[in-house]
Structure 1
Amino acid sequence: MAKGKSESWEWIKALVIALAIAAGIRYFLFAPIVVDGESMMPTLHNGDRMIVNKISYDIGKPERFDIIVFNAPEGKDYIKRVIGLPGDEIEYRDDTLFVNDQEVPEPYLNEYKQSIPDGTLTDNFQLSEEIGTKTVPEGHLFVLGDNRQHSKDSRNIGAIPMDAIIGKANVIFWPVDHLNVLE
């Protein structure tokens, strides 16, 4: 009987340790997220399930075109693409991104732009018109959804504070036919 209790106790301890490790990984390292809406189409689709790397920005900094998840002012988590880094001047002219007066290609949008009836995905704007400053403020990012005509992003909610970032979204794991590692 003592052997049975001992074996049961070992199983319980192993289960508790496994659950603690799983909770730690989910809370501190990686978390699943479900894409809600069409603001990141065609890159991400409504209902796609992704893994968010929560430590990527603890050991590095966001880069232009990273896809990030952040706490939005409305209390929801948003998923958007980084367009402007701190100190950048951002402008769109004739559906072309200019960063610090240099044209920056957005190859991930090429195919989508061809499918738009009038051919314009991103309307002309300057950063100062959208967030009230000429450059992205220190400690902030300027983000846009890939579906520019149907996205609530920095043009509506302003620059995103770095401390609002949950992590970098870089793996779509469901549905299986969307399985992809995002660059």
Structure 2
Amino acid sequence: MRRAARAVLVAAVRGRRDRGGPWGEAALAEFDQTTGRWEAVRWAAGGLRAVWHERRAKIKTMPTRVRVQRAAIGAALLALPAAVVVNQFVLTPRYIPSGSMEPTVQVQDRILIDRVSFRLTGIRYGDIVEFTTPQVPGRHVLKRVIGLPGDTIECRGGAVFRDGAALPEPYLESVGDTTDCGAPVTVPAGALFVLGDHRLVSQDSRQWGTIPQDAVDGRLLTRIWPLP
């Protein structure tokens, strides 16, 4: 532990240089006078604070232009990994290549997918979710949630029925834009029944059957371009 504490202090004081600042070098010079592991760790921690204050004092003596440049570079270096993390695990922009969700989402729209909140609130009726499916390999698919576990879904007379009640669907591409769903489907546990808003062109649970909830990796948050 003493060796690790000294190595950390040396790296902080000198970095790639042969010699660091006077405060840091003083802390290094007296490190070997410590006894025991925990005294060495406490001394190293004190040395790190001294190095931090020393560097802060040095930065304050630099010209304003240099300080601004250093701050901008530091912010950029922090922003890049933060942006990667946000894009992969929090909010992901998507480009819409097809018209299966028109008119809600148009071809060439840019949208933002929320990859976190649905895991906390659960998936609800009417949510537009993103998922992957073996029927469309290599692509993220966007559809609207119509049925949750235990629901019975059927189509007749140009309307979709959930547990016998016709669904109001003002978002459809056109009145009566609902093709046959085939035999009534009861959604099993852990699954969803999903449909596109443009029923005449959409491939969805009418062809695939229900999809596993575990396949969902995000929920539509908003359209970012064109501006709403």
With the shorter chain as reference, the TM-score category is 0.7 to 0.9
1:79–1:127 distance in 2 versus 1, CA, 3 Å: farther
Which of 115, 118, 142 pairs up with 1:57? 118
More moved, 154-163 vs 60-69: 154-163
Cα RMSD after superposing both structures: 2.3
Give TM-score scaled by structure 1 length. Answer: 0.80
Separation in 2, partners of 1:84, 1:127: 15
State the SS of the aligned residue for 2:177: coil
Separation in 2, partners of 1:47, 1:61: 29
Separation in 2, partners of 1:85, 1:127: 17
Residue-by-residue CA offset, 1:22-70 (whole Å, 9 max, x unaligned): 2221111100011111111111111010000111211111111111111
Which residue number in structure 2 is paired with residue 173 of structure 1?
Answer: 224
Structure having the higher strand fraction is: 1
Give TM-score scaled by structure 2 length. Answer: 0.65
User: Structure 1 counterpart of 2:142, which letter?
Assistant: I
Residue-by-residue CA offset, 1:49-96 (whole Å, 9 max, x unaligned): 000011121111111111111112122101111111111100111011
Structure having the higher helix fraction is: 2
Which residue number in structure 1 is paired with residue 177 of structure 2?
Answer: 121
Higher RCO structure (Cα 8 Å, ≥6 apart): 1
Would the aligned equivalents of 1:94 and 1:123 in 2 still touch at CA under 8 Å? no
Separation in 2, partners of 1:76, 1:127: 28
Would the aligned equivalents of 1:80 and 1:145 in 2 still touch at CA under 8 Å? yes
1:70 has 2:131 as partner: yes
Which residue number in structure 2 is paired with residue 156 of structure 1?
Answer: 207
Separation in 1, partners of 2:179, 2:189: 25
Q: Aligned pairs, how many?
A: 164
Separation in 2, partners of 1:150, 1:173: 24
Which residue number in structure 2 is paired with residue 22 of structure 1?
Answer: 83
State the SS of the aligned residue for 1:107: coil
Structure 1, unaligned stretches of length 5 or more? 114-119, 129-133
Separation in 2, partners of 1:127, 1:49: 36
Which residue number in structure 1 is paired with residue 157 of structure 2?
Answer: 94
Separation in 1, partners of 2:221, 2:89: 16
Which one has a bigger Cα radius of gyration?
2
Would the aligned equivalents of 1:90 and 1:126 in 2 still touch at CA under 8 Å? no
Percent of residue pairs identical: 38
